[in-house]
C-alpha cells in the first residue's frame, strides 16, 4: 500500500526520521489498533495515533460526554456534551486526519466479548478506568496473542507498561502477564473512583501520549519497549521511575500449572 502525495507531506517529519522512515510509515498505514476507552487516556492516544497515520483505529466506549469530562478528555468539546463518546471521537479524528479509518464499538468490554472484539486488531491500547475491564482485556490479549499497552492514572500519579506474555524473552523465560504484576484486582470500593478522588487533567495527557508512543514503537519496531518494565510517574515531584517485573510461575495464564484456554 503506497502513500499518496498528501500523505508524504503530512508524514514528512516521520519519513525523514531515522528509525521510522518510509517503511515505518507504511507499517503504520496498514496497522489496526484498538483503543479501549475514549476518556482521559484514550483521548490523547486516539489523537496521536491518528496524527501519526495509523491506518485503522478502533475505539470502544459505552459512555456519553459530560461537562465534568472536559477537564481532561480533550478529544471532546463543549458542543459534544450528551453525545456518545465514540461519535464525538469519530468526528474529531475525521477532522484531524481523513486518511484514518475509525471503527466504533458502543459497548462495555467484559470477559465474554473481549476476545472477539480485539481479534482483528494488531495492537491494543487500554485506557480503561476500572479493573474489571483491565483484567478482561489483558486476559483476552494473552489468548489472542496481541501486544497490549496499558496506562493508568491516579490523582497525581500514573503508570505505563507493555505486555507480550504470549512470547518469551531472550533467556527463554516467558514474558510477564498483567496478572504477574497485579495477581488479583483490589477489593470493590477499596480504591476511590476518579469522581471521588479527582485526577490532574494534564497528567492523563502525559500518560496517554506515552501510551501512543508505545503503540507506535510496537508497530514500527524502533527502540526498547516497556515489556517487563513498569514506568511510574509522580506528577507532584515530576519524577519518573522505571521498575522491572518478571514472570510469576504461579500466574493462571502462562504459569507452570496454567490450563490453556486458546
pLDDT at 190: 75
Residue 9 within any structural domain of the chain: no
pTM of the predicted protein model: 0.95
User: Using CA atoms, how far apart are residues 95 and 210, in angstroms rounded to an integer?
Assistant: 22
Residue 117 within any structural domain of the chain: yes
User: Using CA atoms, how far apart are residues 59 and 85, in angstroms rounded to an integer?
Assistant: 9
Residue 154 within any structural domain of the chain: yes
Domain of residue 153, CATH code = 3.40.50.720
* Cβ atoms of 200 and 189 closer than 8 Å: no
The chain-wide mean pLDDT, for the chain, equals 95
- Asked if 194 is an active-site residue, the reply is yes
Number of domains observed in the structure of the chain: 1
Q: Give the domain range for residue 237.
A: 14-244
Residue 164 within any structural domain of the chain: yes
Checking if the pLDDT of 142 tops 90, the result is yes
Cell numbers given for 82: 450528551
Residue 104 within any structural domain of the chain: yes
The alpha-helical segments, DSSP class H, found in 53-193 are 85-96, 114-118, 131-144, 178-181
pLDDT digits (tens, 9 = 90+) for 53-109: 999 999 999 999 999 999 999 999 999 999 999 999 999 999 999 999 999 999 999
Q: Which helix (H) or strand (E) holds 124?
A: strand 123-126
Cell numbers given for 193: 473512583
Q: What's the Cα-to-Cα distance from 182 to each of 138, 207, 244, rounded to whole Å?
A: 11, 19, 13
User: Using CA atoms, how far apart are residues 86 and 38, in angstroms rounded to an integer?
Assistant: 7
Residue 3 within any structural domain of the chain: no
User: Using CA atoms, how far apart are residues 223 and 130, in angstroms rounded to an integer?
Assistant: 30
pLDDT digits (tens, 9 = 90+) for 230-258: 999 999 999 999 999 999 999 999 999 88
Choose the catalytic residue: 87, 132, 194, 232.
194
Residue 255 within any structural domain of the chain: no
CA-nearest of 111, 61, 51, 108 to 88 is 61
Contacts of 172 (CB under 8 A, 6+ apart): none
Residue 190 within any structural domain of the chain: yes
Amino acid at each position: 500500500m503506497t502513500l499518496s502525495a498528501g500523505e508524504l507531506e503530512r508524514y514528512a517529519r516521520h519519513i525523514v526520521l531515522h528509525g521510522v522512515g518510509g517503511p515505518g510509515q507504511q507499517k503504520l498505514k496498514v496497522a489496526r489498533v484498538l483503543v479501549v476507552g475514549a476518556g482521559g487516556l484514550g483521548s490523547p492516544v486516539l489523537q496521536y495515533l491518528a496524527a501519526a497515520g495509523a491506518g485503522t483505529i478502533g475505539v470502544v466506549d459505552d459512555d456519553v460526554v459530560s461537562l465534568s469530562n472536559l477537564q481532561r478528555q480533550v478529544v471532546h468539546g463543549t458542543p459534544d456534551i450528551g453525545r456518545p463518546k465514540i461519535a464525538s471521537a469519530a468526528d474529531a479524528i475525521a477532522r484531524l486526519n481523513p486518511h484514518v479509518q475509525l471503527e466504533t464499538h458502543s459497548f462495555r468490554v467484559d470477559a465474554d466479548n473481549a476476545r472477539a472484539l480485539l481479534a482483528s486488531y494488531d495492537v491494543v491500547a487500554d485506557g480503561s478506568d476500572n479493573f474489571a475491564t483491565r483484567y478482561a482485556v489483558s486476559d483476552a490479549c494473552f489468548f489472542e496473542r496481541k501486544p497490549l499497552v496499558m496506562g493508568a492514572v491516579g490523582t497525581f500519579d500514573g503508570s505505563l507498561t507493555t505486555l507480550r506474555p504470549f512470547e518469551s524473552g531472550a533467556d527463554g523465560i516467558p514474558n510477564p502477564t498483567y496478572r504477574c504484576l497485579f495477581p488479583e484486582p483490589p477489593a470493590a470500593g477499596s480504591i476511590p473512583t476518579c469522581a471521588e478522588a479527582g485526577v490532574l487533567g494534564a497528567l492523563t495527557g502525559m500518560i496517554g501520549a506515552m501510551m501512543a508512543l508505545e503503540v507506535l514503537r510496537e508497530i514500527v519496531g524502533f527502540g526498547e519497549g516497556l515489556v517487563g518494565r513498569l514506568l511510574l510517574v509522580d506528577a507532584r515531584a515530576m519524577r519518573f521511575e522505571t521498575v522491572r517485573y518478571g514472570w510469576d510461575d504461579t500466574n493462571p495464564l502462562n504459569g507452570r500449572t496454567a490450563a490453556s484456554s486458546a
